[in-house]
Amino acid sequence: MITWFVWAGCVLGYAALVAGAVALDDRVHERAVADAVARYEAAKPDPADAVPDEDLRLGIAGVAALVQGDGKAGSAFWTVLVGMVARGVLVPGTTSDGEPTLRRSAGYRKRAAPDASDLEQQIWSLASYRNPASAAPQSVTHPIAQRLYQEGYLRGRGVYIDFRAPRAVWCWTVAVLTLPLAALVVYLFLHWRYGIVAMWTAMAMVVVAWVLTMPREKPEALLLPVLTERGDQVVRQARARHAHLDPANRTEPYAPDEAAAAHAVFGLEAYNHFAAHTPGFSAAVDQGTGERARNVAAEELQRTRGNFTG
């Protein structure tokens, strides 16, 4: 019985040593992280340095991609689509099979508006042979995201604040001491009745020491948002400029030149408000997105069909 008490004391003592070392190194690491974040925040550009009307220069599609905030530009596609429907370039209708769709209006069957953007031209071209809502947004809006990355409004995903982790001195010290401590445990309990317990205890101590020396992952506090400070300034400009379009404070429908800006800034809430005042629009979009999902599922089934046949 005394032997087991001694063994338990050794195990608990080593566990306390490990816990103390981890706690001390964690404290040093957290302080270093806080200092790195503080240095980064101090070096950020002053919001007062924002370029006036930069949101207007980027255009409403660019603003929509920045408001989305994840480096993708899917929202830009729907923003432009909403704007085209609001201005009458596209209208809700039905196909020859009676399914809801978006099609070119009578005034824009031969060509898009003279001042149409490249994205509007692509959507207008799609409407000649299918519901444009069935297109994959990222395939159309990829150039917008690329431009925003190149001009410094977006940064890559997984970008961290510059940080050099301090050496885990206490954990390394315990790891180095583990070998003689493990040897001592084996020596103390090498009696034939306790030999297996001694060996497993020593092996567990070596594994713990190995874990203590493993490098840490970068903490979430150091992960930078995809939106840069410059991009964030543009979003603030757009929200201030279009605050009157907030669907929460609006009952009347959007004017033709307001719908796209409202969707860019307020997203789904503005979409719902616009759809509620535009008969057939929501059904056409649902039909298009459903068609895209079915096509993707069919392509995936075709791609993996060989996995289920001999």
pLDDT in tens, 139-157: 888 889 899 988 889 887 7
Q: Average pLDDT over the chain, rounded to whole?
A: 83
Stretches in the chain below the pLDDT threshold 70: 1-7, 45-50, 190-195, 296-310
Planar angle of CA 284, 86, 72, nearest 5 degrees? 70
Please, are residues 186 and 198 in contact by the beta-carbon 8 Å criterion? Answer: yes
Distance CA 228, CA 45 (A): 10
pLDDT digits (tens, 9 = 90+) for 218-231: 888 888 888 888 88
- Return the pLDDT at 21: 84
User: Locate tokens 């993707």: which residue?
Assistant: 296
DSSP at 193? T
Q: Which residue has the tokens 């992952």?
A: 217
pLDDT, position 302:
56
pLDDT at position 308 is: 46
pLDDT tens-digit readout, 25-58: 889 888 888 888 888 888 776 655 567 888 888 8
DSSP 136: -
